Amino acid sequence: MKYVEMLIESPFLKEYLRNKLEENGIKVIAAGTPMEGIAKMRNFAPDLIILDFSIGKQSLMELLKLKKDNINTVRTPVIILTEIIDQRHLVELASFNVKNVFTKPMKVDALFAALSKLLQMSFRVDHTHSIMEVTVNENIIFIEIANGLNEDKIDLLHFKIDELFALYRIRVPKVIIMLSDIRLNNTNAVDNLHKLLQVVFKASKAAKNCVKILTKDNHIQNFIREQKEYSKIEVVEKLQSAIEYLLEVNGSTYASKEIAELIESKLHQAKPNQETEAAPVKSDVENKLINFELGEDSMKGSRIAVVDDDFIIQELIKNTFEKTGAIINTFSDGREFLAVIDTWEFDLVFLDINMPIVGGFDVLSVIKGRNIRYPIIILSSVNTRDAMVKAIQMGVKSYLIKPLKPEDILRKSIEILKANF
C-alpha cells in the first residue's frame, strides 16, 4: 500500500484530495500542524508528501529540513501547493526533493498526472475540455460552464460551493448555472448534466425554485423540462429575469440589469484556451465554516496595488485592509503603476478603468503583452457596463461594482487570494 502524507490548510481541499486518493487505494496520513506533520513523517515514512505553502514559509522550511535530515524520508518526493511563488523560492525548494509546485486555483489534471508519475500508478482523469468558473455576486452563486461537462470538475464543484458558502456565510442559497457551448450528444454528456444538477442541489441545499439555468441550447432546455425532479427549475435565455427574482429573496439593492448584462457578456466571451479551474464534492459546511477573521489574518504580507484616480476609493481600500497586515500601494493613474511593474511584485491589483492620462485598458494591454499574471479586480460604476465587458474580453475575471463596501472588498479579495479550486 502507498502512503501519502498531507499538510494542507483548507479543510475542503484536504477532503477532496483524501477522497480521491483513498478511492485509488492510497492510505492518507493527514497532519493538522507542522509539528504533527514532522512526527507522522518519522513514524510512517510516506511515499509522497503534499504540503500547502499556506502553513507559512518558516514552518514549511523547517519541516523540509527535518525531512532531508531523516534517512527514511530524504528521498521522499514532495509536492507543494501555493497561491503564488517566486523564482527564488523555487530554487530554494529544489534541494529538498520538491518535484512539483502547483499554484492555486488547482489544475486537477496536472496534479494527478504528477501523482501518477511519482507514485507509479494510474489515476482515471476525465480529459473532456471544459471551462468552469464559480463566483459569488450579491450572495448568488454563479456557476459558468463552457465547452463541455468534465466529470472531475463536477466532482470538485461540491467543494468549491462549500468553500464559497463558508466564506460568504450565505443563508438563503441561490444559484444560477450558465451553460455555453454544451452538447448533449452522447449518454456520458447526459449523465454528467444530471450529476452536475445533483451536486449543485446537494452542496448548496437550495430550493429548486432558487436554481436557475441559463442556456440557449434546445436539447438542454428540453432535458430539464422533461425530468420530473427538475420541474421547478426555471430555464432562461436571459439572465435579468432570473437575477431579479433571486435578488428579491433578500431585497438586494443592486441593479439586476447591469449585473445580468455583465455576467452574460462574460459567459459568452469564454474561449477554449481560457482554461480556469473551479470546483468541489462532499463536506459538512456547518462544521467547517471559514473564520472570516482568519481569512483576514492570512492576508498579512500580501502586496496589493490600488490603481484609481479617486482619492476616496484609495483611502477606502487602504482602511479596509488596515488591520490585515497587507501592504497597500496606491497609484493615481495607470502611468504611475506601469512605472513599477518591472520591479515590484503584487499579489492583487484593484484597477479602475476610467482614469486620465493612462487608463485601465492601457494598463491591461501592457500587462497582457508582458505576460504578467496579476489577479485583477476591476472597479466599475454601473454606468460603465460597456467598459466592463471590454475588460472581461481582455481576460479580467473579477469585478466590484461601485459604491464599494469594505466587507465586499475583503471577501472578494479573500476569495481570489485564498482560492484552492
Structural domains for the chain: 3-119 (3.40.50.2300), 131-285 (3.30.750.24), 292-417 (3.40.50.2300)
Minimal CA–CA distance to 134: which of 102, 160, 159? 160
The C-alpha R_g of the chain, in whole angstroms, comes to: 22
Task: Compute CA distances 403 → 313, 315, 316, 337, 378, whole Å.
Answer: 9, 14, 11, 23, 13
Higher pLDDT, 185 or 4: 4
Grid cell listed for 44: 510512517
- pLDDT higher than 50, residue 322: yes
pLDDT category, 342, cuts 50, 70, 90? confident
Torsion 274-275-276-281 (CA) sign? positive
pLDDT digit string (tens) for 98-139? 999 988 877 888 899 999 999 999 988 888 989 888 888 778
pLDDT category, 272, cuts 50, 70, 90? very low
Give the bridge partners for 50, in sequence order. 6, 79
Give the bridge partners for 179, in sequence order. 145
Q: What is the pLDDT of residue 388?
A: 65
Question: Counting Cβ atoms within 10 Å, is residue 203 exposed (0-12), middle (13-18) or buried (19+)?
Answer: buried
Mean pLDDT for the stretch of residues 33-55: 88
pLDDT category, 264, cuts 50, 70, 90? low
pLDDT category, 34, cuts 50, 70, 90? confident
Residue ranges in 2-103 assigned as alpha helix (H): 11-23, 34-44, 57-69, 87-94
Strands 327-331 and 398-401: unpaired
Mean pLDDT for the stretch of residues 331-358: 91
pLDDT, the chain, mean = 83
The answer to whether the CB of 151 falls within 8 A of the CB of 158 is no
Q: What is the pLDDT of residue 370?
A: 87
Which of the residue ranges 183-197, 290-304, 305-319 would you say has the lowest mean pLDDT?
290-304
Q: What is the pLDDT of residue 298?
A: 62
pLDDT digit string (tens) for 131-188? 888 888 778 898 989 999 999 999 999 999 998 988 888 888 899 998 989 989 889 9
The answer to whether the CB of 288 falls within 8 A of the CB of 162 is yes
Whether residue 77 has a cis bond before it, omega within 30° of 0: no
Higher pLDDT, 377 or 241: 377
Higher pLDDT, 161 or 262: 161
pLDDT category, 241, cuts 50, 70, 90? low
Residues 207 and 209: their CA atoms lie apart, in Å, by 5
For 81, the 3-state DSSP assignment is strand
For 27, the 3-state DSSP assignment is strand
Q: What is the pLDDT of residue 308?
A: 94
90: left (phi over 0), alpha (psi -120 to 50) or beta: alpha
Q: What is the pLDDT of residue 295?
A: 53
- pLDDT higher than 50, residue 283: no
pTM of the model: 0.76
Higher pLDDT, 395 or 190: 190
- pLDDT higher than 70, residue 206: yes
Task: Compute CA distances 311 → 168, 305, 307, 352, 363, whole Å.
Answer: 28, 14, 10, 12, 19
pLDDT digit string (tens) for 53-89? 877 778 888 899 999 999 989 999 999 998 766 666 7
Residues 96 and 265: their CA atoms lie apart, in Å, by 46
The answer to whether the CB of 347 falls within 8 A of the CB of 375 is yes
Minimal CA–CA distance to 35: which of 66, 11, 12? 66
pLDDT category, 245, cuts 50, 70, 90? low
pLDDT digit string (tens) for 348-389? 999 998 888 898 999 999 988 888 878 899 887 755 566 766
Percent of the chain with pLDDT over 70: 83
